[in-house]
């Protein structure tokens, strides 16, 4: 069985739309969900996980966000801050990084969801009063209060998960 | 050879049937058809055929030889068939999995290019509800719509108009329909009175069709009603099943909000027809003209999907997407109705596949696409379609084909309104309302503002009245059903790429 990320309804492997809530299930793993014992989950969450192997950025960018569901890498080069969200027709303020084509709607990403700021002291992530919240490595952020992020950190916007990739020059 | 049943379908078993399955099927046939106990003439002959089929298939050598012969025969059949098919799968490979999995197949049936399109004679019967509730605007519009249809008849066409309330009356006979001034005078006699007894009207309308029944043409009945029939539903449904065998199809047109959509869906579905909903009678002329126009393009009638699914596979649901969206039955054969020239019949099937071991290939189904070719005097043609698919231990990383995703996205919406209605009927009004709000969100995301609004209205209504409004249930049902029609197909042309 696989689980609908939206309503937790159980479906047969291969199902494309949740029969309970109508959400598209394409980005759910096509393999059956393996249930992991709760204590193991918690102990894993508490230990610092080794960073996954650093991806080669085809664009040569030194900094990017990896979309975990697809492996695609979004560049974070050329600006000092990036707003993340999903653009909708007729929207006045368009996010710098538009996640709309990446099923952001189904994943609960707000139009202007969060912001990444490149400062002297490091890289920071701030939640922009999003509906479904922003998390860093499973820890929920207070709205509008920037938190530092590092290479390998998992940023979660609604249910969409992104990983920060940085590679310093020299 | 066309239409002759092969040994497997005679026994009603899948092609990969085990000896046990064969034995069971044979025993069941023997119980019914054995010369010592059968009832109908011809049963003995059928039994002899089945015996021969059984004896051949239980013998491994004979079965191998027969399979070979059958394969060649089917190749020949496919070459001669007026139809061609295409099957699209939701995944490029099934998974070797110790648990059930869902799989989707999109099946297109289209006429081969070589099949000549001759405009077939149309034998049409209009059956009109004249009960008191039709009085005024509704009947006025229907009367003038009927008149317009009679005006567009060609020399080889036949038409009649029957009206019913608690009894049926032939308003315009096929002979009178030829003389427009007579037909107009007769139509003016159509006045509202009495109740709604659909069986009466259906019987008379079908009698008129039988008078001019044509094997080279389309035989079609359109039932227009705005009310519920009481007590004669079963009779109507039996009649529909019976005439469907003859090649007669039925469309239902429901006007307003007080007719029984489930009954009309069932009635039309049994004949491969479909149901249309009109919330105002104003559009009835355009609607009838549309139906008439597509009837005059039909090249094959009584199209159906026969054959069998493999023993690993169960059909969960089936929808026709083109030419007219319709919910189909969940067991074979599927009644698919008429195939117009320059169109395709497209159906989406959702199947559950039982746990698969380490096989590399799975036969999902042996279908037969069967239809009566009008240009050949209704000659039945059958096209065998073998559906096989790769089985792998690795999940398919490719996204499913766009056509399947789009179809399923609309089906998901259709199902949500259906579930909400069931929930409301079971007394879970707040669940139903929540589901409708969720449906509205999805509809908005798909750009369906009006339908989304209707869903929200209905959710509010549910909170107040604890049940669906008769109008809202139909707007949502037929509104979401209409979304099943692929967007580019609205013009009616085939996109061949």
The pLDDT tens digits for A65-117 are 888 887 777 888 777 888 899 887 777 777 888 887 777 888 888 888 999 98
- Per-residue DSSP letter, A51: P
B275-278: strand order across its sheet? B168-172, B158-164, B122-129, B218-225, B248-255, B275-278
pLDDT at B346 over 90: yes
Q: Write down the residue that tokens 């007769």 correspond to.
A: B186
Q: Do A13 and B438 touch (CB under 8 A)?
A: no
B-chain residues near A12 (CB < 8 A): 99-102, 352
Beta bridge partners of B276: B253
CATH assignment of the domain containing B138: 3.40.50.410
Residues B147, B23: one domain?
no
Same domain, B38 and B135: no
Residue B369 lies in a domain: no
* Residues whose CB falls within 8 Å of the CB of residue B497, separated by 6 or more in sequence, listed in order: none
pLDDT at position B217: 93
> Measured between alpha carbons, how far is B190 from B362 in angstroms, rounded to an integer?
59
Is residue B221 assigned to a domain?
yes
Q: Is A29 in contact with B395 (Cβ distance < 8 A)?
A: yes
Mutation site for B-interface testing, chosen from A4, A7, A16 by largest number of B Cβ within 10 Å: A16
Whether residue B144 lies within 8 A of chain A, CB to CB, comes out as no
* Residue B60 shares a structural domain with residue B206: no
State how far the Cα of B46 lies from the Cα of B44, in Å rounded to an integer.
5
| Subunit contact A17:B100, Cβ cutoff 8 A | no
In-domain check, residue B413: yes
Nearest by CB: B95 against A1, A13, A18? A13
Question: Quick one: pLDDT band at residue B266, thresholds 50, 70, 90?
Answer: very high
B170/B238 same-domain check? yes
B256 and B135 in a common domain: yes
Task: Tell if the CB–CB gap between A32 and B99 is shorter than 8 Å.
Answer: yes
Cα end-to-end span (Å), chain B: 33
Separation of first and last alpha carbons in chain A: 48
User: Looking at the DSSP assignment, which residues form a beta bridge with residue B381?
Assistant: B371
Please state, in angstroms and as integers, the Cα–Cα distance from residue B366 to each residue in B301, B338, B345, B433, following that order. 22, 22, 18, 42
Last residue of a domain, one of B263, B279, B296: B296
Mark whether B167 and B277 lie in a shared domain: yes
- In angstroms, the CA B440 to CA B462 distance is 14
Interface touch A16/B90, C-beta < 8 Å: yes
Considering A64-68, B254-258, B395-399, the range whose residues carry the highest mean pLDDT is: B254-258
| pLDDT computed for residue B495 by the predictor | 40
Mean pLDDT is lowest, of A138-152, A156-170, B249-263, for A156-170
Expressed in percent and rounded to 5, the helix, strand and coil fractions of chain A are: 5, 30, 60
**Does one domain contain both B53 and B159?**
no
> B271 and B159, same structural domain?
yes
Distance separating alpha carbons of residues A1 and B342, to the nearest angstrom = 42
Evaluate whether residue B461 is within a structural domain: yes
SS3 A164: strand
Residues B225 and B138 in one domain: yes
Q: In angstroms, rounded to a whole number, what is the distance separating the alpha carbons of residues B417 and B413?
A: 7
What's the domain count of chain B? 3
Q: How far apart are CA A87 and CA A84, in angstroms?
A: 9
ipTM above 0.90, yes or no: no
Q: Report CB contact under 8 Å: B103, A1.
A: no
CB B108 within 8 A of CB B204: no
Q: What is the CA B470 to chain-centroid distance, rounded?
A: 24
- Choose the mutation target among A13, A20, A30, A89 for the interface with B, i.e. most B CBs under 10 Å: A13
Which segment, A10-14, A55-59, A60-64, B35-39, is predicted with the most confidence on average? A10-14
B452-464 pLDDT tens trace: 999 999 999 998 9
Confidence band (pLDDT; 50, 70, 90) for A2?
A: confident
Residue B121: how many CB atoms within 10 A of its CB?
20
- The pLDDT, as a whole number, for residue B110 is 93
Domain check: are B196 and B256 in the same one? yes
pLDDT for res B374: 92
Chain A residue closest in CA terms to B91: A14
DSSP letter string, B369-403: EEEEEGGGTTEEEEEEEEEEEEEESS---SPPPHH
Q: Classify residue B351: in a domain, yes or no.
A: no
Residue A41 has pLDDT above 50, yes or no: no
Cα–Cα distance between A14 and A1 in angstroms, integer?
9
Structure tokens that stand for B471 in this block = 């109008």
Mean pLDDT of B55-66: 91
- Over pLDDT 90: what percentage of chain B? 63
In a domain, B24, yes or no: yes
Q: Which residue has the higher pLDDT, A39 or A90?
A: A90
**Cβ(B198)–Cβ(B224) under 8 Å?**
no
User: Does any CB of chain B come closer than 8 Å to the CB of residue A92?
Assistant: no
User: For residues B275 and B181, what is the distance between their CA atoms, to the nearest angstrom?
Assistant: 31
Average pLDDT of the segment spanning B251-262: 93
Chain B: nearest CA to A69, how far in angstroms? 11
Domain assignment of residue B8, yes or no? yes
| For testing contact with chain A, the best of B101, B312, B415, B422 (most A CBs within 10 A) | B101
Tell me what the mean pLDDT of segment B179-189 comes to. Answer: 92
pLDDT band at A62 (very low <50, low <70, confident <90, very high): low
Q: What is the CATH number of the domain that holds B22?
A: 1.10.287.110
Residues B286 and B224 both lie in one domain: yes
Compute the distance between CA of residue B374 and CA of residue B210 in angstroms, rounded to an integer: 17
d(CA A48, CA A50) in angstroms, rounded, equals 6
Residues of B in contact with A14 (CB under 8 A): 90-91, 94-95, 101-104, 353
Expressed as residue numbers, the domain containing B412 is 402-482
CB pairs A-B closer than 8 Å: 61
Q: Which of B241, B266, B296 is the last residue of a domain?
A: B296
Last residue of a domain, one of B24, B47, B80: B80
pLDDT computed for residue B488 by the predictor: 59
Residue A44: which residues within 8 A CB-CB, separation 6 or more? Answer: none
Indicate if the pLDDT at residue A5 is higher than 50. Answer: yes
Q: Are residues B3 and B69 in the same domain?
A: yes
Task: Please tell me which of the candidates B99, B103, B409 has its beta carbon nearest to residue A17.
Answer: B409
Contact B415 A19 (CB under 8 A): yes
Check whether A60 has a pLDDT greater than 60: no
Separation CA B137–CA B143 (nearest Å): 10
B220 φ, ψ to 5°? -140, 145
Residues with Cβ within 8 Å of B437's Cβ and at least 6 positions away in sequence, in order, are: B455, B456, B459
Cα distance from B333 to chain A (closest Cα, Å)? 24
Look at the block and give the residue holding tokens 């038409």. B159
Partner B, chain A 1-20, Cβ-Cβ below 8 Å: 1, 11-19
As a whole number of angstroms, the distance between CA B379 and CA B373 comes to: 5
Pairing of strands B158-164, B379-392: unpaired
Is residue B389 assigned to a domain? Answer: no
Strands (E), B182-328: 218-225, 248-255, 275-278, 298-309, 313-322, 326-327
- State the smallest CA–CA distance between residue B481 and chain A in angstroms: 15
Contact of B443 with chain A, judged by CB distance below 8 Å, is answered with no
B90 touches chain A (CB under 8 A): yes
Look at the pTM and tell me if it is higher than 0.80.
no
C-alpha span between A102 and A13 (Å, rounded):
22
**pLDDT tens track for B6-50:** 888 888 887 888 888 889 889 888 888 887 777 777 778 888 888
Helix runs in B152-260, H state only: 174-177, 180-187, 198-211, 233-246
Q: How far apart are CA A34 and CA B309, in angstroms?
A: 30
């Amino acid at each position: 069985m696989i689980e609908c990320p939206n309503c937790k309804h159980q479906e047969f492997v291969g199902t494309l739309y949740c029969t309970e809530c109508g959400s598209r299930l394409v980005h759910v793993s096509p393999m059956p969900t393996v249930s992991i014992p709760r204590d193991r989950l918690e102990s894993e969450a508490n230990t610092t996980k080794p960073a996954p192997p650093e991806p080669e950025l085809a664009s040569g960018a030194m900094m990017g966000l990896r979309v975990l569901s697809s492996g695609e890498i979004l560049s974070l080069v050329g600006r000092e801050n990036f707003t993340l969200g999903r653009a909708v027709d007729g929207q006045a303020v368009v996010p710098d990084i538009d996640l709309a084509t990446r099923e952001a709607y189904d994943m609960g990403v707000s139009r202007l969801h969060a912001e990444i700021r490149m400062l002297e002291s490091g890289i920071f992530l701030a939640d922009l009063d999003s509906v479904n919240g922003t998390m860093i490595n499973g820890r929920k952020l207070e709205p509008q209060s920037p938190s530092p992020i590092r290479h390998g950190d998992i940023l979660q916007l609604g249910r969409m998960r992104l990983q920060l990739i940085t590679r310093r020059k020299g | 050879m066309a239409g002759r049943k092969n040994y497997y379908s005679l026994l009603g078993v899948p092609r990969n049937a085990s000896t046990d399955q064969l034995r069971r099927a044979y025993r069941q046939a023997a119980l019914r058809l054995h010369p010592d106990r059968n009832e109908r003439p011809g049963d003995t002959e059928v039994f002899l055929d089945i015996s021969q089929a059984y004896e051949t298939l239980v013998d491994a050598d004979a079965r191998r030889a027969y399979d070979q012969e059958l394969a060649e025969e089917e190749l020949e059949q496919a070459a001669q068939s007026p139809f061609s098919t295409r099957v699209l799968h939701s995944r490029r490979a099934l998974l070797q999995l110790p648990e059930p999995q869902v799989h989707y197949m999109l099946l297109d049936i289209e006429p081969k290019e070589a099949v000549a399109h001759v405009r077939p004679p149309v034998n049409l019967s209009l059956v009109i509800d004249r009960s008191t509730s039709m009085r005024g605007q509704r009947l006025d519009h229907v009367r003038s719509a009927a008149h317009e249809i009679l005006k567009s008849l060609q020399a080889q066409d036949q038409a009649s108009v029957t009206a019913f309330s608690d009894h049926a009356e032939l308003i315009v006979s096929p002979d009178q329909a030829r003389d427009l001034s007579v037909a107009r005078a007769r139509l003016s006699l159509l006045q509202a009175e009495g109740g709604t007894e659909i069986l009466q009207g259906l019987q008379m309308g079908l009698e008129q069709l039988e008078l001019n029944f044509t094997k080279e043409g389309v035989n079609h009945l359109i039932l227009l009603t705005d009310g519920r029939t009481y007590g004669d539903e079963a009779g109507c449904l039996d009649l529909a099943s019976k005439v469907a065998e003859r090649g007669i199809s039925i469309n239902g047109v429901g006007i307003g909000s007080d007719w029984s959509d489930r009954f009309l869906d069932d009635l039309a579905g049994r004949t491969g027809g479909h149901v249309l909903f009109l919330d105002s009678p104003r559009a009835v002329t355009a609607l009838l003209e549309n139906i008439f126009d597509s009837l005059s393009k039909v090249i094959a009638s009584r199209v159906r999907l026969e054959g069998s699914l493999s023993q690993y596979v169960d059909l969960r649901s089936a929808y026709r997407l083109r030419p007219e969206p319709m919910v189909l039955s969940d067991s074979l054969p599927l009644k698919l109705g008429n195939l117009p020239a320059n169109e395709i019949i497209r159906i989406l099937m959702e199947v559950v596949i039982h746990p698969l071991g380490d096989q590399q290939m799975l036969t999902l189904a042996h279908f037969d696409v069967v239809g009566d070719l009008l240009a050949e005097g209704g000659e039945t043609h059958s096209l065998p379609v073998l559906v096989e698919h790769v089985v792998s231990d690795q999940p398919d990383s490719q996204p499913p084909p766009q056509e399947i995703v789009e179809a399923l996205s609309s089906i998901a919406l259709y199902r949500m309104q259906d579930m909400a209605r069931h929930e409301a009927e079971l007394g879970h009004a707040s669940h139903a309302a929540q589901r409708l709000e969720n449906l509205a969100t999805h509809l908005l995301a798909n750009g369906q503002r009006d339908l989304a609004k209707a869903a929200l209205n209905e959710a509010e209504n549910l909170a107040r009245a604890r049940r669906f409004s008769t109008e809202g249930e139909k707007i949502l049902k037929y509104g979401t059903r209409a979304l099943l029609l692929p967007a580019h197909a609205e013009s009616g042309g085939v996109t061949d790429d």
